[in-house]
Amino acid sequence: MIIIKKIARLICLFVLVSCYQVNNYSYLFIDFKESRLSSRILTIYVDSVINKDLVIPDSVNYIFLSGEKLKDQERIIHLKNKPDEWFMINFTNDPCLIETIYNKNLSDTLINDGVLLGEHEIQRIKTRFFKEVLKPAELYGKMHHFADSIIYQNPKLY
């Protein structure tokens, strides 16, 4: 009887671990800690400018979401200049995290593991995102006379 209980516990443990691993999902978590831009202004910029007229093709939507809904703090953005890339970003950290990317020249599916990219590609992505998204978002905030408390994290420190 004790052996049967132990076997049953091991089976339950194995099933739980297996289920957890099936649902385990990794992200790139490319962050911009060195930026002082706030997620608040970046969200405004992405929604008002970058994604204003963006239509996400069903194929790209499926690549990123696999039929799931986009979370409130996430956005999919498209940078068309070479290379043509799609990014899923998350605003939970200032100013954002890049969770996953899709670049058909790198992979047929989304990339959510930095090991698959390598340090050189990660640095290229960070530099591109800074130049094409973060810097223009800051300029947008200044041009539209947003308060520093909206544009920057901890504005009194700057």
At 8, is the pLDDT very low, low, confident or very high (cuts 50, 70, 90)? very low
- How far is 149 from 117, CA to CA, in rounded Å? 35
Residue 30: what pLDDT? 94
| Mean of pLDDT values over 6-26 | 46
Tell me which amino acid residue 67 is. Answer: G
Nearest residue to 99 via CA among 107, 109, 111, 108 = 111
- How far is 138 from 44, CA to CA, in rounded Å? 11
Tell me: the pLDDT tens digits for 62-93? 999 988 899 999 999 999 988 999 999 999 98
Q: What is the DSSP string of 13-60?
A: HHHHHHHHHHH------EE-TT--B-HHHHHHHIIIIITTT----HHH
Q: Which two tokens stand for residue 63?
A: 């690549």
Residue 157: what pLDDT? 55
Residue 99: what pLDDT? 95
Torsion on CA atoms 123, 125, 128, 130, rounded to nearest 10: -80
